[in-house]
Amino acid sequence: MFLNCILEWLRGAGAKKLIVKTAPLCYYPDVQHLCHESYLEAGFFPNHTYSNHYIPIDEGTFYQLIERTEKRRLSKGKTAGFPITIQRGPVGDDARNFLEHNYIERGYKLPLSADRLAEFASIFPDSFVTFEATHRGTLVAVLIAVKVTPAVIYHFMSGYLPEYAAFSPSVLLFEALYEFCQQEGFSVLDLGISIDNHGNAKPSLSRFKTNIGGLECPKVIYEVEL
């Protein structure tokens, strides 16, 4: 078995433990059961299961998916006027600096430093898509998505200026991302798990993802002692 070969190689290399963070169920629902049984047979145990949100992409509109409160915010943002631009490829300096400052203000760390983000986006330019919302020439919200497979795109990180919270410009960006998925033929928009900077569940983030049409599926972490 492939997993057993990997474990034997790791033991020979002196490794003591292997942790595997699997993709959420929404990526490959038809083979999830087979993968689960294979991990158990190889000696792994499910160390932790996260709740992951995703949006199935169909022919309907984003407006039809979202809850009433988000509909109001979406309409309010459109009325106020927030032009949105979409950039494929390397993430621009303005977007990186915006997100870094935004995360620091909220007491978070970026999943990647601004420099590492620039490096990865340069190495894999076809995988990154940046969405930006402006208001009267000021950048007010940024969202970065990563193409994972031809069928799945992942919401990697996003942020907005706190003073624009009443307009919820992030909802405008998620609508733009949803429409991008429709145009590009993606079938799943992965919204990720909802945790804080310490790895604890963050209910407010989970509610937001549900409010914009997100469904829940498990994301399992497997572990084995070597």
What are 187's two structure tokens? 């079938």
* pTM for this predicted structure: 0.92
Instruction: For residues 19 and 81, state if they share a domain.
Output: no
Instruction: For residues 81 and 45, state if they share a domain.
Output: no
Question: Alpha carbon of 171 to those of 12, 82, 212: distances in Å?
Answer: 50, 11, 8
**For the chain, how many structural domains are there in total?**
2
Query: What is the pLDDT at residue 191?
Result: 97
Instruction: For residues 23 and 115, state if they share a domain.
Output: no
Instruction: For residues 65 and 135, state if they share a domain.
Output: yes
| CATH classification of the domain holding 182 | 3.40.630.30
Is there a domain that residue 209 lies in?
no
- Using DSSP's 3-state secondary structure scheme, residue 49 falls into strand
Instruction: For residues 62 and 122, state if they share a domain.
Output: yes
Instruction: For residues 22 and 69, state if they share a domain.
Output: no
Is there a domain that residue 10 lies in?
yes
136-145 as b/e: b if 16+ CB within 10 A:
eeebbbbbbb
Query: What is the pLDDT at residue 219?
Result: 95
Domain that holds residue 180: 58-186
Query: What is the pLDDT at residue 180?
Result: 98
Low-confidence residues in the chain, pLDDT < 50: none
Maximal CA-CA distance, the chain: 63
Is there a domain that residue 215 lies in?
no
Question: Alpha carbon of 11 to those of 14, 46, 49, 194: distances in Å?
Answer: 5, 20, 26, 34
Q: In what order do the strands lie in the sheet with 215-225?
A: 17-21, 215-225, 45-56, 188-193, 152-160, 138-147, 128-135, 84-88
What does the alpha-carbon distance between residue 96 and residue 200 come to, in Å, rounded to a whole number? Answer: 25
Instruction: For residues 93 and 44, state if they share a domain.
Output: no
Instruction: For residues 135 and 175, state if they share a domain.
Output: yes
What are 36's two structure tokens? 């689960």
Query: What is the pLDDT at residue 111?
Result: 79
Is there a domain that residue 198 lies in?
no
Query: What is the pLDDT at residue 199?
Result: 80
Query: Who contacts 61 (Cβ-Cβ below 8 Å, separation ≥6)?
Result: none
Query: What is the pLDDT at residue 178?
Result: 98
- Using DSSP's 3-state secondary structure scheme, residue 126 falls into helix
Instruction: For residues 68 and 180, state if they share a domain.
Output: yes
Instruction: For residues 62 and 144, state if they share a domain.
Output: yes
Is there a domain that residue 90 lies in?
yes
Query: What is the pLDDT at residue 175?
Result: 97
Instruction: For residues 84 and 175, state if they share a domain.
Output: yes
